[in-house]
Amino acid sequence: MNTALTATDRVIERIEQIPVRVPFRDVPGRNLRRELPHWRYLELFELELACGALGHGEAMLYYMNGPTEQATIDRLEGTDVLDVPFDDSLGPGIQIAALDAIGRAESVPIHRLLGEQVHDSTPLAWWCIDMPPEDWVHEAGRAIDAGYTTLKVKGRPWFDLEAQLQALSASVPDWFDVSIDFNATLHTTEKALDILPTLEQFPLVSHFETPIEPGATEEYAQLRDALSTPILLHYGQIDPFEAIVADVCDGLLLNAAPGAIRKHATVAAQADLPAMIQIVGTGISAAFSLHCGGVFEQARLPAVNCHQIFESTLLEDPPEVDSGMASVPDGPGLGVTVNMDAVRSYETDIPESRPSPARIIETSWPDGRRQYLVPESVNALLAHARDTEQMPFFESGVTTRLITALDDPAVRALYDTVRTEPTLFGPNETPLTTNDT
């Protein structure tokens, strides 16, 4: 990285770690609380250089690297900031803050530090976790009002995906599309082909992401031959060179820290595969993602940042979207202004462990069957459906709700019963009524 800063100017004078708990918006919040309540917790960094330049960055506390240790911060203070941006062992929060500080000191945007700009604007998607149909419709309406043209959603066997798509199709314009991420819950090509041909009849469906188990090169090739809808894979789910040679996907998701994501983008460019940037956080992460989209030639698929789930972007000037596109910032550093008043209002202590409030997830089917699960690990319901194949497979009429009323004796008794293992009750065995909450 070339810079006109002197060695003295580049010294990191101070790094402040600011843990925050940013509230979810109502609709995404009531769905995220099932499996990802800890997504409210992030760590922000304010990094100051000897020349006086300030940089800001962020990372979710329990998404990639985990909370940054104080020893790491102490070690970096007094060192050259140029050693930080692409050292992925430090975590993206500090790395983005370093890039922001360098850019502001040099009066250049971050994308100038990442490579040659090839796009003036880049596509963004509105992100949704799995939700009942009416909640997807609500979020699609918010997305359209905000200028988005794409919704990225989670396809799960505990919701009726066909009913969800029918509801969306009836409520959105013809130009609006939906990309469905299965996280391998379709298991195998054989099972996937029981579901996907029906779903791709919906004109708004644009992509299927990771429909079956990662690493299944031959099965992915068979699936791609059988479908007309493009298939996306996370970079590395199949060895990237093997995936390219075998021609098993139509695009790659780039979800990595700043150092690795540049390398992954280079591979996508060599293979001429379109890429979807996925950098998760508030508006700070979204702004950094825009800079990546400005220099990655293959960043042609709508990027996913999930910042729409929060009640605040933490920015004074959040990215504006028009016809699905957002301009790449051209101001110094991130090119946006962090709202420190908002940041301070959400400041909290770093939890001793990943927050996981006591709760039960209930999945029910029209014939009266119900499954109960206590999610004590991350994505516990997803792991149960994907890894054990014990959950009924994508049946019509299925729905899911969260139960938190553990002060109710019946709910507490059920919680104690199913805490060690998810339990599927038959139609006449259900321990709770639909009125229990």
Assess whether pLDDT exceeds 70 at residue 96: yes
Does residue 9 lie in a domain region?
no
Q: Give the residue among 375, 385, 32, 361 at the shortest CA–CA distance from 185.
A: 385
The whole-model pTM stands at 0.95
321 and 372 both lie in a single domain: no
Tell me, what's the pLDDT at 377? 85
Does residue 100 lie in a domain region?
no
204 and 274 both lie in a single domain: yes
Band (pLDDT 50/70/90 cuts) for residue 112 is very high
165 and 314 both lie in a single domain: yes
171 and 272 both lie in a single domain: yes
CATH assignment of the domain containing 243: 3.20.20.120
How many domains are contained in the chain? 2
Q: What is the DSSP code (8-state) at residue 316? A: S
Does residue 335 lie in a domain region?
no
Number of other residues whose CB lies within 10 A of the CB of residue 245: 11
In tens, the pLDDT along 139-157 reads: 999 999 999 999 999 999 9
Measured over the CA atoms of residue 278, residue 280, residue 283 and residue 288, the dihedral's sign is: negative
Assess whether pLDDT exceeds 70 at residue 430: yes
257 and 388 both lie in a single domain: no
Number of other residues whose CB lies within 10 A of the CB of residue 356: 17
Q: What is the DSSP code (8-state) at residue 329? A: P
Q: Give the residue among 299, 258, 294 at the shortest CA–CA distance from 117.
A: 294
Q: Quick one: average pLDDT of 122-128? A: 98
List Cα–Cα distances, 251 to 118, 120, 300, 364, in angstroms.
19, 21, 10, 35
Task: Find the domain containing 319 and state its range.
Answer: 121-330
Neighbour order of strands in the sheet with 41-49: 12-21, 41-49, 54-60
367 and 325 both lie in a single domain: no
Q: How far apart are CA 310 and CA 20, in angstroms?
A: 12
Token pair, residue 118, equals 């090839």
Token pair, residue 320, equals 């504006």
Tell me, what's the pLDDT at 434? 59
Does residue 388 lie in a domain region?
yes
In 3-state terms the chain splits into helix, strand, coil percentages (rounded to 5) of 35, 20, 45
Percent of the chain with pLDDT over 90: 87
260 and 387 both lie in a single domain: no
Cβ pair 375, 34 in contact under 8 A: yes
Q: How far apart are CA 74 and CA 72, in angstroms?
A: 5
204 and 272 both lie in a single domain: yes
231 and 379 both lie in a single domain: no
In tens, the pLDDT along 64-76 reads: 778 999 999 999 9
Does residue 129 lie in a domain region?
yes
Length of the chain, in residues: 437
Measured over the CA atoms of residue 377, residue 398, residue 387 and residue 29, the dihedral's sign is: negative
Does residue 92 lie in a domain region?
no
Q: Quick one: average pLDDT of 105-126? A: 97
Cβ pair 422, 371 in contact under 8 A: yes
305 and 402 both lie in a single domain: no
